[in-house]
Amino acid sequence: MEVKAIDLFQAYGEGQVPREGGYIVTSFRQPSSDYVKYEIVGYSDARSLYFAPKGLTFQADANKLFVLAEPASYEQRHAEPYARAGQHQIPHHFNEVEQLTAGNMTRIMISRQPVSVYFSFAVPRPGALNRSLLFRNVPGVLDELAAYFKRSLGEEAKVPAGDAARAARSIVEGLKRFTIWKELVRKSPAPKRAPKAKPKAAAKPKAKSRPAVKARRPAGKKTGRAAGKRTARAAQKR
């Protein structure tokens, strides 16, 4: 099944948000900066959806993964991620994130472990610097998410292509720890195994041919000319 991302709030307006589960990726950009924050939510079995002052609220359990792309010019690089202000902040210490340094010295930080959310969570309303996309929970979704992060890190955070691809792979490894992904894998049919080829029967060794044995003449008997000469000599003696 082809995976296509759709704007979350557009999907909500059209009644297309799947209650059974999905992935929501919200990106937060900064004015006049390449600093980008991503919040990835994987939810399942949403009991209800409704607008609230904070945005679109889901009554559901979920997992969250956070990503920061921090340019080399960022002045607060020494500050712990949890202690930063506004949308520069994620709920982690340095030792709780995987850190990748790109060729242009952009530092990418990724949650080492998902953050569990119980009962409900909210997705902020879209604005000039933030947007939320919905990815359906179907086979192939992680490939689509990897392609999205490779493209977005390159375009919005100015991360070189090779480093963006490496970061996207690390993000996907984190998403494999989400409960929603584990459930999808558990429910997926196991791939069929090709039948094992029967071993070929060993070829029977060929019988060795024996060399031909020449027939021996009986002792004392001579044939042909030798026998004729013997008979002639015996007649002369008589």
- Give the pLDDT score at 68: 97
Residue 81 covered by a domain: yes
Please tell me the distance from the alpha carbon of residue 66 to that of residue 79, in angstroms, as a whole number. 17
Q: At 73, list the tokens.
A: 């010019």
Bridge partner list, 111: 97
State pLDDT tens for residues 205-228.
665 656 555 555 555 555 555 555
Structural domains of the chain, count:
1
DSSP 45: E
The residue segments making up the domain with residue 114 are: 6-187
pTM of the model: 0.78
- pLDDT of 1 reads 47
| Residue 42 in domain | yes
Q: Centre a 10 Å sphere on the Cβ of residue 21 and count the other Cβ atoms it contains.
A: 21
Residue 67 within a domain: yes
Is residue 83 in some structural domain? yes
**pLDDT score, position 52:** 84
Q: Show the tokens assigned to 7.
A: 């704007």
Q: Quick check: 150 and 90 in contact, CB under 8 A?
A: no
Residues 6+ positions from 166 with CB-CB distance below 8 Å: 100
Residue 11 forms part of a structural domain: yes
Task: State which H helix or E strand residue 100 sits in.
Answer: strand 97-101
Instruction: List beta partners, residue 39.
Output: 26, 66
> How does pLDDT run across 113-127, given as a tens digit for each residue?
999 999 999 999 999
pLDDT at 167: 98
What tokens does 98 get?
Answer: 């995987």
pLDDT for 187 equals 81
Averages of pLDDT over runs of 10 residues in the chain (238 residues) are 81 94 96 95 95 91 97 95 94 97 97 96 93 94 97 96 98 96 83 65 61 56 52 52
Q: What is the pLDDT of residue 123?
A: 97
Spatial contact of 65 and 96, defined as CB atoms under 8 Å apart: no
Other beta carbons within 10 Å of 46: 19
Are the C-beta atoms of residues 118 and 61 closer than 8 Å to each other? Answer: yes
- Chain segment 51-80, per-residue pLDDT in tens: 888 899 999 999 999 999 999 999 999 999
For residue 20, tell me if it sits in a domain. yes
The pLDDT score that the predictor gives to residue 71 is 96
d(CA 157, CA 135) in angstroms, rounded, equals 21
Q: How far apart are CA 43 and CA 20, in angstroms?
A: 8
Within a domain: 113: yes
Closest by CA to 120, choosing from 182, 43, 177, is: 43
In a domain, 127, yes or no: yes
